[in-house]
Amino acid sequence: MRKLSDSRQLGPILTAVTIIMILTLLLVLSAFSDRVTSNPPGTVGNTAGNLNNGGYFCEDGGTVYFSNAYDEGTLYSMDVDEKNFKKLGTAKVCNILAGGDYLYYFQLGVSGDAGLGNIRSPRSFNRCKRNGKNVTALTRDTIVTGQLVDDTLYLLAAGDKQPFFYKMKTDKSDRVDLADYTVNPACAVNGTIYYNGTGNDHYLYALDTTTDVSREVWAGNLWYPALEGDHIYYLDVENNYRLCRYSLSQQVIEVLTHDRVDCFNVGSGFIYYQKNGTSPQLICMRTDGTDARAVADGNYTDICLTSRYVYFREFGKEDTLYHSPLGAGYAEPFLKALEAVPAK
C-alpha cells in the first residue's frame, strides 16, 4: 500500500516536469515564430526608379505599399487599382522594400513626432510582416538607400565622416562591410547591382552579389542608372543632366531629351521626368523618347511608379501627393482616392 508521504513527494516532481515541458515548448514555438523565412529566388525589393525617388511606393504581388503623405508619411497598403486601403502602422517611412512574407523600410520617426519627440522614436531600418505587425529594428544606421536581393539587404548608410556600404541577411546576421564610399544599390537585376562611380569617375559598374566583386561595365559619365531590358537609363552628367539610354548589347547611346532633368523614373513602357528650367514641367514619354507630353506644370519630385499609376509630390511640400494613370496627360490630387476610404 502506497504511503501518503510518497504521494506528497511525487506531486512536486510532476509539477516541475510539467513546467519544464511547457517552457521547452514555448521556447521551440518562439524560435519558429522568430525565424525569418527565405524569399523566392530572384527577389528584388523595389525598382531602381522608385528607390532613386525616395522609395515611397512599392508594388509586389498585386499590392502597393506606400508612404501616405496625407497621414504624415505613415505606411499604408492598397490594391494596384487604388482600392482596399489599409493603415499598417504609425511610422513615417521611406525606402519601402517587399520580399517574401516581409516588408522593409527606413523609419523617420512616428507620426506626430516633432522636436524632442524624435528621441522617443529613433530612426531605424525595420522589418515587419506584410500586415505591418511584428516590427523589428534591423539597424539604427541612417540609411540613405537600401535594396533587397534574395535574402540579403544591401544598405548605403550615412556615417559621421563618410558614407559606408554593407550587406546583411534579413535576420540581421552575417553583416559584411563592402565599401567606405557611396555605392547606390537601387538598381538590382538578376543578382547584379548596377551603380555609377562616385570617386574618380562616374562610370557604370556591376557588383556580383554572389562574390561581392565589382567590374567596370561602361566608361560613361552617368548618374542614377536604371536597367530596363537591354538599356541602362541614366542622367548624362557631362551634358547638363539630359536623359539618355545606353544599350548594353549594342553599346549605343541614345539621347531621349535635351531638357535638363532633375529626377526621373522608368517602367511599364514609360519614362516620367521633371524638366528643369524657366517653364518646369513633369513630362511623360515612351521609353524610346517618343510621344512626349506634359502631365503637370510646375516643380515636382519623388516620382514613383506602379503598374497602373505614377505618383509624385510638389517640390518642397511633403503633404502633397498627385497621381496619374500611366500614359495620361493629366494628374489629380491623390487625396480624392483616399477620401473614399470609410472612416474607422
Indicate the domain borders of the chain. 38-174, 190-258, 259-344
Q: Is the dihedral of CA 166, 130, 73, 82 positive or negative?
A: positive
Among 327, 226, 224, smallest CA distance to 272 is for 327
Report strand pairing: 242-247 vs 176-179.
Answer: unpaired
Report strand pairing: 231-236 vs 242-247.
Answer: antiparallel
SS3 for 330?
coil
pLDDT at res. 160:
87
Please give the Cα distance from 182 to 76 (Å, whole number).
30
Q: If 0-12 CB within 10 Å is exposed, 13-18 middle and 19+ buried, where does residue 121 land?
A: middle
Cell numbers for 270: 514609360
Among 238, 278, 272, smallest CA distance to 256 is for 272
Same fold, 38-174 and 190-258: no
pLDDT at res. 112:
56
- Has this prediction a pTM greater than 0.85? yes
Q: Is the dihedral of CA 142, 301, 238, 253 positive or negative?
A: positive
Please give the Cα distance from 283 to 260 (Å, whole number).
12
pLDDT in tens, the chain (344 residues): 444 445 555 555 556 566 666 555 544 444 444 689 999 999 999 999 999 999 999 999 999 999 999 999 999 999 999 999 999 999 899 999 999 999 999 999 765 554 444 445 579 999 999 999 999 999 999 999 999 999 999 999 998 889 999 999 999 999 999 999 999 999 999 999 999 999 899 999 999 999 999 999 999 999 999 999 999 999 999 999 999 999 999 999 999 999 999 999 999 999 999 999 999 999 999 999 999 999 999 999 999 999 999 999 999 998 999 999 999 999 999 986 776 555 44
DSSP label at residue 161: S
SS3 for 157?
strand
Q: How far is CA 314 from the centre of its chain?
A: 20
Q: Are 130 and 71 in contact (CB under 8 A)?
A: no
Q: List beta partners, residue 218.
A: 204
pLDDT at res. 243:
98
Cell numbers for 293: 507630353
- Whether domain 190-258 has CATH 2.60.120: no
Among 275, 274, 171, 288, smallest CA distance to 233 is for 288
Please give the Cα distance from 35 to 74 (Å, whole number).
26
Cα dist from 112 to 84, 91, 126, 222, whole Å = 24, 9, 19, 39
Among 217, 225, 290, 222, smallest CA distance to 249 is for 217
Cell numbers for 173: 546576421
- Whether domain 38-174 has CATH 2.120.10.30: yes
SS3 for 17?
helix
pLDDT at res. 9:
58
Q: Is the dihedral of CA 292, 293, 295, 299 positive or negative?
A: positive
Report strand pairing: 152-157 vs 143-149.
Answer: antiparallel
pLDDT at res. 300:
98
pLDDT at res. 157:
97
Q: Is the dihedral of CA 71, 75, 81, 84 positive or negative?
A: negative
pLDDT at res. 180:
95
Can you list the alpha helix ranges (DSSP code H) found in the chain? 4-34, 48-51, 117-120, 335-338
Q: Which amino acid is at 53?
A: N
